[in-house]
Structure 1
């Protein structure tokens, strides 16, 4: 048996920008990029086609949006700007550390997070000071967003277990996608995070 956790909204909370387009624009301007006047529209337009359930890295979208307005920007500049726009202070949720501790007693522990911003999950984990995970899988890294089965299959494969042997802890309907591949979901709205450790502890003796 292995346990995987969602990150944002499950193990930590953080504030998203009030206006994502404007936050990205500010970060681009700070790097000398000439942001077009109609950036709000460009940001919200679809510029890159992706398969159903696939993840589109946000920097790639930003590069394409700027290009649609005749503004050229390098990939590394877009990555840095997007990371700055979404990198905000975090709070570790009550019960998170205990749930991780008990999960470790049960078997391998992984993180599976939907996140289109490269580096944001890693920076968040560093700030949170969590124990090392056996694997960290992000949608921007593996190319698939929960609830797509490939996201869960990827993390299961990296943990060395079949998806049917996964218990996934999360806070959204996307996290329940684990049930499509035969695993179990502990939803923190039904099983509050401080009680997740108790649920996992009980499963040690099943």
Structure 2
């Protein structure tokens, strides 16, 4: 058995911009980009034709949105603006540290997060009470190219942990996305109904982590 955890909403809470498009536009201006007047529309439009379930990195979307209005983003400005705009305050959720530590006592532990912003997961872990070195593998959708619940996202973290996908017990807060682990034969623990404290207790007692 390998235990994998979702990050946002499961192990941590993070403050996001109330209006992401505006936050990105403000950051673009600080990097010298002439933001188009109809940026709100451009930001909301689809510019990259990706397969269903594939992750489109937000910097790629932002750069494409600018190009659609005849604006270029030199010197990697789109990426830098996205990273600047998504710079959250992070709160570690109760029981998170204990749950990860208990999972490590049972076998490999991974992190599997839907996140289209480069570097955000790493920065979030640094600002949390979690030890990033406590995970044997950290897999993000922006890195592996697929978002949960797509099977390839779970297969990616399973490969990183060197286990069969069916050996995964995935802990998350969203049955629609995190529950996708069941599609590869794994099992899902919903923190909406099973607290992280109770999960840690079940793991340490040798009981099945799935109620």
TM-score by length of 2: 0.94
Counterpart residue number, 1:136? 138
Counterpart residue number, 1:47? 47
CA distance in 2: counterparts of 1:177 and 1:10, whole angstroms: 16
Question: Could you tell me which of 145, 152, 155 is aligned with 1:153?
Answer: 155
What is the deviation of 1:16?
A: 1.6
Contact 2:202 / 2:208 at 8 angstroms: preserved in 1?
A: no
CA distance in 2: counterparts of 1:199 and 1:191, whole angstroms: 10
CA distance in 2: counterparts of 1:82 and 1:164, whole angstroms: 35
CA distance in 2: counterparts of 1:205 and 1:29, whole angstroms: 52
CA distance in 2: counterparts of 1:130 and 1:148, whole angstroms: 26
Counterpart residue number, 2:126? 126
CA distance in 2: counterparts of 1:31 and 1:13, whole angstroms: 29
CA distance in 2: counterparts of 1:69 and 1:14, whole angstroms: 32
What is the deviation of 1:71?
A: 0.7
Runs of 4+ aligned structure 1 residues displaced above 6 Å come to none
Q: Gaps spanning 5+ residues in structure 1: where?
A: none
What is the deviation of 1:11?
A: 0.4
CA distance in 1: counterparts of 2:186 and 2:115, whole angstroms: 22
1:195 pairs with 2:210: no
CA distance in 2: counterparts of 1:106 and 1:130, whole angstroms: 18
TM-score by length of 1: 0.96
CA distance in 2: counterparts of 1:99 and 1:199, whole angstroms: 10
CA distance in 1: counterparts of 2:107 and 2:201, whole angstroms: 15
Counterpart residue number, 1:85? 85
Counterpart residue number, 2:188? 185
Q: Gaps spanning 5+ residues in structure 2: where?
A: none
> What is the aligned-residue RMSD (CA, Å)?
1.4
Relative to structure 1, is the Cα distance of residues 176 and 202 closer, same or farther in structure 2, using a 3 angstrom cutoff?
farther
Relative to structure 1, is the Cα distance of residues 129 and 192 closer, same or farther in structure 2, using a 3 angstrom cutoff?
closer
What is the deviation of 1:194?
A: 2.1
